[in-house]
Amino acid sequence: MPNYIHGTPDNCPDAIGANVNGTIYRACDTNPPTAEDFTSHAHSLLPRKRRRCDPTQCESWGLSVWTSEADALHAKRMHEWLGKKFIFKADVQPADGRLAQTGKDPTHHTYWRYDTVDLVTRSTLVAV
């Protein structure tokens, strides 16, 4: 039975997420990305992430991602500050983690990876 990253509440992603075959898109601060780019708010030590973290919310233990390139690039066009970031994509399989659409924004998804999965090295840059 695969495990989520240490600290993730029991059954939280299992209850709302699904194992999927697909591609996830993530906004990263650096190119190439670092481990911090794929660290959730709850797991991060960065003040910016910690202050916005609600550990009682399952989403805080996962990563904000998009599931289409169009949605990711749309977000980047919409927000000038996202222009400083880099969009990376990674193909994921059921054995890698769980994905759920979360929040009222229908393009927003949360991805909870299993603790043995390395999204950093798997990710490739999306050309803009």
Q: 111 and 122 in contact (C-beta within 8 Å)? A: no
Q: In degrees to the nearest 10, what's the CA dihedral of 86, 91, 97, 103?
A: 50
Nearer residue to another protein within complex by CB, 77 or 116 = 77
Count residues contacting another protein (CB under 8 A)?
26
Is residue 73 within the footprint of another protein (CB under 8 A)? yes
Cα–Cα distance, 119 to 22 (Å, whole number): 13
Nearer residue to another protein within complex by CB, 98 or 109 = 109
Q: φ and ψ at 39, to 5 degrees?
A: -110, 135
Is residue 55 within the footprint of another protein (CB under 8 A)? no
Is residue 49 within the footprint of another protein (CB under 8 A)? yes
Q: Decide: helix, strand or coil at residue 61.
A: helix
Q: In sequence order, which ranges of 1-128 are alpha helices (DSSP H)?
A: 12-16, 47-51, 69-78, 119-122
Is residue 64 within the footprint of another protein (CB under 8 A)? yes
Taking CB under 8 A as the binding criterion, the range among 2-10, 14-22, 73-81, 91-99 that sits at the site for another protein is 73-81
Binding residues for another protein, rule: CB under 8 A, are 27, 41, 47-49, 51-52, 64, 68, 70-71, 73-75, 77-82, 103-108
